[in-house]
Amino acid sequence: MTAEDAGRPPEVIRRREVRHTSARSLLMTVLGEFVLPAGRPVWTWMLVDTLAGFGVTEKSARQALARTAAEGLLVSERVGRRTRWELTPAARRLLSEGARRIYEFGRGERPWDGRWLLLLVSVPESKRDLRHRLRTRLSWAGFGSPEAGVWISPHLGREDEALDVVKELGLAASAMSFTAAFGRIGGQDEMVSRAWDLTGLEERYEAFLADFGTLEPAGRAEALHAQTRLVHEWRRFPFLDPLLPRALLPANWSGATAAELFHRRHDEWGPAAGQYWDEMSSGRG
């Protein structure tokens, strides 16, 4: 693991992965979608060839492999003149948790009783780095901020995660949390619009629908490419979408349509993509 990641929990590394489209983030998608469920080592050429389909050069692909191994997620084994890679236990835990979050995201809707979780925590303007870290961590946890120092979520169960954040940042002594229903002063819709950029999020969902709504891969090789791209694009949404109850969302919310499309396409393309991966494993291994 790099010095930058020393001591960081796996979820912090995972969040970094979804922020950038890079050789390494694509590699993590391939590892989670194909290598993890296969349960066996993978040859270097398979990973290099798969990433090449996304315009990643061989040099960049090999650098991504080396970096991922340095972080303790892959181990290499020489077999003659060739090299194959195996997931470490830490990688299997990281990718399994990520897969659970990706594949469960958008399935079903939890009932909401109208109550909010409120977190009051302020950081002086002079401590800008700490303010940025707090905003980043709470935003990743799905909290929105309608006013400075005020964070809200309709999911009461996220209080433990908020507590972990303020403890890790040394802010627990001054932070306070409440559960409450919205009162008669002001408008709940206005509060939501100030707390979250739902317009920007919906634009991302619309782009996803445009990219995958009519895509029909021809053959198993194209199915593997399409499946990789599908998962790679979708894996960002669990960290961008606070999953607000339907009552708080705009009419005709495209996030629900995008979730339905993701799960349908994933089921449609999965068998052909998996077959092609198996063919590569047995063909040139």
Min mean pLDDT across 20-24, 52-56, 179-183, 266-270 is at 20-24
Q: Are 208 and 234 in contact (CB under 8 A)?
A: yes
Does the domain spanning 198-283 belong to CATH 1.20.58?
yes
Residue 239 has pLDDT above 90, yes or no: no
The model carries a pTM of: 0.83
Taking the CA of residue 187 as centre, how many other CA atoms within 13 Å lie in the half-sphere pointing to its CB?
A: 5
Domain boundaries, the chain: 10-104, 115-181, 198-283
Q: What percentage of the chain reaches a pLDDT higher than 70?
A: 92
Amino acid code (one letter) for 92 = R
Residue 14 has pLDDT above 50, yes or no: no
Does the domain spanning 10-104 belong to CATH 1.10.10.10?
yes
C-alpha–C-alpha distance, residues 280 and 30, integer Å: 14
Strand ranges for 7-98 from DSSP E? 42-43, 74-79, 82-87
Q: What is the pLDDT of residues 212-232, one digit of tens each?
A: 999 999 999 999 999 999 999
C-alpha–C-alpha distance, residues 213 and 210, integer Å: 6
What pLDDT score does 264 carry? 96
Topology classification of domain 115-181: Alpha-Beta Plaits (3.30.70)
Q: Are 125 and 166 in contact (CB under 8 A)?
A: no
**What's the mean pLDDT when you consider all of the chain?**
90
Residue 16 has pLDDT above 50, yes or no: no
What pLDDT score does 1 carry? 35
User: What mean pLDDT comes out for the span 52-72?
Assistant: 95
The residues, any chain, with a CB within 8 Å of residue 28's CB and separated by 6 or more, are 17, 68, 95
By CB atoms closer than 10 A (0-12, 13-18, 19+), residue 208 is buried
Specify the 3-state DSSP secondary structure of 247: helix
Under the banding of pLDDT at 50, 70 and 90, the label for residue 21 is: low
C-alpha–C-alpha distance, residues 49 and 274, integer Å: 16
User: What mean pLDDT comes out for the span 128-132?
Assistant: 92
What pLDDT score does 83 carry? 93
By CB atoms closer than 10 A (0-12, 13-18, 19+), residue 79 is exposed
Residue 126 has pLDDT above 70, yes or no: yes
